[in-house]
Amino acid sequence: MKILIILPPFFPATSVEATIKQILPDAEITTNTDFGQSNAEVLVATTFTKVDEQLVSKFPNLKFVQIASTGYDNVDAETLRKRGVKLSNIPTANKESVAEHVIAVALAQLKNLLYFHNEIVNGNWPFLTNSTELMGKTFGIIGMGAIGKRLAERLLYFGVNTIYSDPVRIPEEEEENLGVSYAPMDELLHRSDIVSLHVPLTKETDRFIGEKEFNLMKDAAIFINTSRGEVVDEPALIKAIKSKGVRACIDVYSQEPPDPGSELFKVPNVIFSPHIAGVTVESQQRFIADTISNVLKYVQGLEPSYQVL
């Protein structure tokens, strides 16, 4: 079965290729989509490649697409559905990385680390602080998938009150094990000191968090987005930062790289990162291993894991 793997040009192709070739020696690996037709039956890609109708049309024999990522909003699912092509993602490989990142930036905001860093670099020595503790805070998780659950597990050790909202409520026993309680969306926003967003980008979640939602949040609440930039109405976020003192931690943007002249980069109390919440050495190793494992399952005639189509 012919396999084509499309890697982004900035990936360490040599080391990744060496790993892949040990297990899938016949797989073809490329870093661009500027090619004619391919006879591959299996396509492996990352979120940096648009798997749209134009690309899919180059694969007359395509039967299975594997996205080496949690998100798969770069895929034209309807085109695959019409062609009867199966689609899988890897939703668990970066759950540890994202959970740790969320806690790290939440603590950085609570402890005013950026402010203190800048003060000392500029020759000042603050004597007073308005830093606060994570313990005792209400932490709201929007989206209780693999990452949301891992975040809840990690928060168990911090003594927080963790609440969550999701279209599908998890079983009561699992809520108890995770130390979480369910709250409708509006209630979660109203009660939470920290809100962390963990939902996929779909038609339903496009601009999911807007002015109405920010108005429900507490003044000076911390808002964390490590999901997708398009899930948040950016002008509404900027307004909430200015008018309510919302402190934000932003890892994802509707345009990546973002426009450096954006007003978002001119407002205070925001920690920015370049879509790397789920990117660690360990998580990338897990993505490669899980992707290869899933492709092998399909090639061997088994049902692939994490199938979304």
121-130 pLDDT per residue, tens: 999 999 888 8
Q: Which of 174, 176, 256, 282 is catalytic?
A: 256
Q: Which of 150, 228, 234, 247 is catalytic?
A: 228
Does residue 11 carry a pLDDT above 80? no
Annotated domain spans of the chain: 3-93+281-299, 95-272
Which option is the CATH number for 95-272: 3.40.190.10, 3.20.20.10, 3.40.1640.10, 3.40.50.720? 3.40.50.720
**Helical H segments across the chain, by residue range:** 13-23, 53-56, 77-83, 95-110, 113-121, 146-155, 172-178, 185-191, 211-216, 234-244, 281-299
Whether 95-272 and 3-93+281-299 are alike in CATH topology: the answer is yes
Catalytic residue check, 228: yes
Catalytic residue check, 256: yes
Q: Which of 83, 154, 191, 275 is catalytic?
A: 275
- In this prediction, residues 281-292 reach a mean pLDDT of 91
CATH T-level topology, domain 3-93+281-299:
Rossmann fold (3.40.50)
Residues 25-74 have pLDDT tens digits of 889 999 889 999 999 999 999 999 999 999 999 999 999 999 999 999 99
DSSP characters for 124-177? ----------STT-EEEEE--SHHHHHHHHHHGGGT-EEEEE-SSPPPHHHHHH
- Amino acid making up residue 225: N
Catalytic residue check, 81: no
- Claim: this prediction has a pTM higher than 0.85: yes
What is the model's pLDDT at position 114? 94
In whole numbers, what is the pLDDT of the chain averaged over residues? 95
Residues 74-103 have pLDDT tens digits of 999 999 999 999 999 999 999 999 999 999
Q: In angstroms, how far is CA 304 from the centroid of its own chain?
A: 22
Residues 222-264 have pLDDT tens digits of 999 999 999 999 999 999 999 999 999 999 999 999 999 999 9
- In this prediction, residues 204-216 reach a mean pLDDT of 97
